[in-house]
Amino acid sequence: MKLWLDKLSTTFFNTLTVLWIWIIGMQWVSFTESIWLSETTAIVIAAITITAVIEALIPLKQVFRLVLQFLLILYSVFKLLEAGGRPVPSFGPDTVLSDELMYLFPYLWFAVAAWAIFVFIFLWAKTKRRILFVVGLNVIGLAVLDSFTKVTLWDETAWVAGAGMGWLVTNHFNRFRRRFPQGWVNLSRSPFKIIANILVIFSLIIVAGVNMPHINPTLTDPYTAWREWSGVPLSGVSTSGTGTLIEAPVESSSGYGRGDNDLGSGFNFDYSPVMSVSSEERSYWRGETRAVYSGTGWADRSGRRSGADVGIGESLPDEEASSMPTKTVKQTVTMLNDTEYPVLFGAYKIHEVQMLDEVIDPERLSWVSEGAELHLQGGRNGDYPKSYTLVSEVPVIPLEELRGKTYSQLYNGSVDDAYLQIPRNFPDRVTDLAKQITESAETPYDKVILLQQYLQSNYSYTNTPDLSRKQSEDFVDSFLFEVREGYCDYFSTAMVMMTRSLDIPARWVKGYAPGSSSVSEYIPMDGQSPVSSGTYTVTNADAHSWVEVYFGEYGWIPIEATPGFSMPLLTGQPEAEPVVQEEVEEEEQEEAETTPAAASDDQSSGWWKGIGIAAAVVIALWIFYILWRMRINLRFAGARLRAGKPLSAADKVIAETERWLRSVQRKGLVRQDSETLRESVRRWSEANPLLEPQLKPLLQQFETARYSPAEVSEEQWRLVQADAEVLKKMIRKVRLA
């Protein structure tokens, strides 16, 4: 039995150790996810997960575990490549093994490297110093990457630090178990006390870290000093979220971001150039879509859906083709910075990649038809294309025809529930407001336009919203009813969710506003439309978000919800001339077109707030428990203050007697007003003989303290306290007469 318990304990500690190493490894996967191909990421995750499960749960000798791990990893590489549509070896009588394995080796090396690192750390890091070395090396590595690259890795660093603390605790108890087996047996009899102490210590660290005030550095950090010395501007792309781009050391700046799950922070405008676009039509340069609203932002991540391969000069598949006519628009994009983005930008809807930098492998392109997104797999080494040419089929919207279509005519078939998703705890007053605004409209399109007009007319634009007004936990609810001001992320997100609350499918889109062009291109000449072909310079300040609403057979139609913006639309008017929403004053327009889709937030992600709250609750419960354990001492401290002198042991015995008397009377041992304590104890003992062994000593100690000239010791007072606790427990078990 003892051997079995010892083996079980060993397995438990090994499992925890494997878990901490796996968590640390996953933080590096999170960092490399946007660099590697999706198949490479999946293979590495499979490799470290297989290794972790076998090390934790399979009771074999180490050599057999290694063989099993290698075989399963090799199998997973085959299956994942096959599932991703990549070439896999096919073995036959005429097969040249080296040729077949050539495609497998690049992926296999990643898997083997991840496997080897995991096993080495698990087998080598068995002491406190080695664990601290491994954790410290990981923290330093992530910190260096965070400081000297365009990636923010605060969340990953926090996870590594947390896993490191858990690993050290696990190692401490495992060593204690081996060195002091009898002590471990005694300690393991109170597991909840151990867990409570660990939780309290961790909670104190977390609460201290989450609430640490921001203090500007006294000295300039080396990276910033080097950038300033090199003459490189510090303002740049800045976003929030895991694995996002950032280049602003102090202030949040506008720019295209990948983290959209924690929207709402203020920002500064960054006017550094991003790209120039030579286009036959002025347009919004579309990037990605989001569908899953979390209550604080958009939870679905970049590259969440698998896409189709893209061939240069070939038409892209269109699974959501609409019945609307289209106009072919050609755009040539020239990048003006060195930032790498997850997508190529173009007018909706991209139909063909006509030209791409020779240094970019077309196999890295992936077309997600569902969201009309053109993804670029990997890349953070300066290999984002410097120029590319796209051809888009821009829909020509038959406005009058669309206005007349009823809900049943537009949505007589199935609608993807993803674009009707609303969180379970979504505030009812948002839905009620949407219904109130649109009660006069009869068709879905008219309802959408009423929502658009309401948002543009009743809320003001600002890049620094007053978040002190925010009370609601829901981003949309707080914007509509409390903050009542914001930038494009506020307006577009509110528009999507209000539209969905009316059972009209909608999604959130981010990309860039058209940018600026020469003055001559905005002056109509010879009957030319003010929206025409030209070259547009797009800056980080032009990052923007808007709405697309699904209208059945007409497909997705973009809607602008932010006041001051003008969305170029092709309509069913003669010659399919573009229509631009009413222009605002020049100063307001210039400010509005610099709205960012996502701004960096120097705080942690939304989940850190939840962890901080949970840690605060643990600390509050711990404080309550400590106060409860000290209740008697606190009561005596109060009595001492009232008496103006220290309490003697006799005073404490008398006070404790009065306390246990009140307690037993509540349990059913009634005491008459005319009785002395001795008379009451005698009557209780006769009626309940089982209580007599506890009642008599308590009576004796009380009478000694009250009437005897002999001095009562602290030991006697502690004995009264212990006997009183035993008496209360016995009363709960005995049926009183």
Say if 359 falls within a structural domain.
yes
**Average per-residue pLDDT in the chain?**
78
pLDDT score of 88 more than 70: no
Given pLDDT bands bounded at 50, 70 and 90, which one contains residue 172?
A: confident
User: Are 377 and 485 members of one domain?
Assistant: yes
| pLDDT of 63 above 80 | yes
Least confident residue range of 234-248, 365-379, 537-551: 234-248
Q: Looking at the structure, tell me whether residues 535 and 662 fall in a common domain.
A: no
Q: Tell me which of 191, 221, 253 is where a domain ends.
A: 191
Tell me, yes or no, whether 128 and 33 share the same domain: yes
Highest mean pLDDT out of 54-68, 427-441, 628-642 = 427-441
696 within domain boundaries: yes
Co-location of 416 and 535 in the same domain: yes
Among the candidates 586, 601, 616, a domain finishes at 601
- Contact indicator for 22, 48 with CB cutoff of 8 Å: yes
Provide the β-strand partners of residue 391: 330, 352
Give the best-scoring range by mean pLDDT among 376-390, 588-602, 634-648. Answer: 376-390
Share of the chain above pLDDT 90, in %: 33
Helices 38-57/2-32 angle, 10° precision:
170
Report if residue 307 sits inside a domain. yes
Handedness of CA 351, 354, 355, 356 (dihedral sign): positive
* The last residue of a domain, from among 170, 191, 212: 191
Q: What's the full length of the chain, in residues?
A: 737
Provide the pLDDT for residue 575: 43
The letter for the amino acid at 39 is E
* pLDDT interval class at 578 (50, 70, 90): very low
Report in angstroms the alpha-carbon separations of 333 from 194, 236, 345.
Answer: 61, 20, 8
The neighbour count for residue 161, using CB atoms within 10 Å, is 18
What is the reported pLDDT for 170? 87
DSSP state string for 451-466: HHHHHHHHSEE-SS--
Residue closest to 699 by CA, chosen among 667, 642, 671, 661: 661
Residues 445, 406: Cα–Cα separation, whole Å: 9
How many Å separate Cα 181 from the centre of its chain?
42
400 or 688: whose pLDDT is higher? 400
Domain contains 623:
no
Q: Mark whether 700 and 557 lie in a shared domain.
A: no
- Return the minimum-mean-pLDDT range out of 301-305, 352-356, 371-375, 426-430: 301-305
- Average pLDDT (144-163) is 81
Q: Using one digit for the tens of pLDDT, what is the confidence trace for 288-339?
A: 999 999 999 998 755 555 678 888 888 898 877 778 889 999 999 999 998 8
Exposed, middle or buried: residue 484 (CB in 10 Å: 0-12, 13-18, 19+)? Answer: middle
Lowest mean pLDDT among 498-512, 548-562, 715-729: 715-729
Mean pLDDT of 85-97: 57
pLDDT digits (tens, 9 = 90+) for 100-143: 566 677 788 899 999 999 999 999 999 999 999 999 999 999 98
Going by pLDDT thresholds of 50, 70 and 90, the confidence category of residue 419 is very high
pLDDT at 482 over 60: yes
pLDDT over 90 (residue 500) = yes
pLDDT of residue 438: 95
Given the structure tokens 């009743």, which residue do they identify? 458
Contacts 24+ apart (CB under 8 A), 469-473: 470/264, 472/427, 473/295, 473/296
> At CB < 8 A and 24+ separation, what contacts does 663-668 make?
663/724, 663/728, 664/727, 664/728, 664/731, 667/728, 667/731, 667/732, 667/736, 668/731, 668/736
**pLDDT in the model for residue 589:** 39
* Any domain includes 321: yes
Q: Both tokens of residue 278?
A: 């030579």
Mean pLDDT computed over 245-253? 47
pLDDT tens profile 514-563: 998 754 344 443 333 444 678 999 999 999 999 999 999 899 999 999 99
Q: Tell whether the model's pLDDT for residue 472 goes beyond 80.
A: yes
Average pLDDT over residues 350-356: 91
Is position 521 within any domain? yes
* Whether residue 312 is found in the same domain as residue 173: no
Look up the pTM and report it: 0.50
Is residue 45 within 8 A of residue 33, CB to CB? The reply is no
Question: How far is CA 203 from each of CA 20, 111, 209, 614, 621, rounded to the nearest angstrom?
Answer: 18, 36, 10, 8, 11
Q: What is the pLDDT of residue 240?
A: 37
29 and 141 in a common domain: yes
Do 361 and 484 share a structural domain?
yes
Point out the least confidently predicted range of 43-57, 372-386, 510-524, 634-648: 634-648
CA–CA separation, 689 and 383 (whole Å): 89
pLDDT at 207 over 70: no
- Give the contacts of 452 (CB within 8 A, at least 6 positions apart): 495, 559, 560, 561
Q: 551 with 684, same domain? A: no
Instruction: Based on the fold, state whether residues 663 and 564 are members of the same structural domain.
Output: no
Q: What is the pLDDT of residue 644?
A: 58
**Residue 116's pLDDT is what?**
94
Indicate the number of domains in the chain.
3
What's the rounded Cα separation, in Å, for the pair 379 and 385? 10
CB 723 within 8 A of CB 694: yes
| Backbone Cα Rg of the chain | 35
Residue 610 domain-assigned?
A: no
State yes or no: pLDDT of 465 exceeds 50: yes
Mean pLDDT calculated for residue range 274-280: 93
Locate 538 and state its tokens.
Answer: 């797009």
Peptide bond just before 447 cis, omega within 30 deg:
no
**Backbone φ, ψ for residue 176 (5° rounding):** -65, -40
| CATH number of domain containing 363 | 3.10.620.30
pLDDT of residue 311: 83
* Rounded Cα–Cα distance for residues 148 and 14 (Å): 36
- Supply 176's token pair: 């204690």
Average pLDDT in the 88-103 region?
56
Based on the domain organization, do 546 and 683 belong to the same domain? no
The predicted pLDDT at position 576 comes to: 41
* Residue 491 and residue 562 in contact, taking contact as beta carbons nearer than 8 Å: yes
**Residue keyed to tokens 């992530």:** 142
Q: Count Cβ atoms within 10 A of the Cβ of residue 624 and give its class: 0-12 exposed, 13-18 middle, 19 or more buried.
A: exposed
Nearest to 448 by CA among 502, 400, 406: 502
Query: What's the confidence (pLDDT) of residue 523?
Result: 42
Q: Is 435 helix (H, G, I), strand (E, B) or coil?
A: helix
Is 337 among the domain residues? yes
Q: Are 180 and 281 within one domain?
A: no
Give residue 132's domain range. 2-191
- Pair of tokens at residue 180: 């002091």
| Amino acid, single-letter form, for residue 184 | W
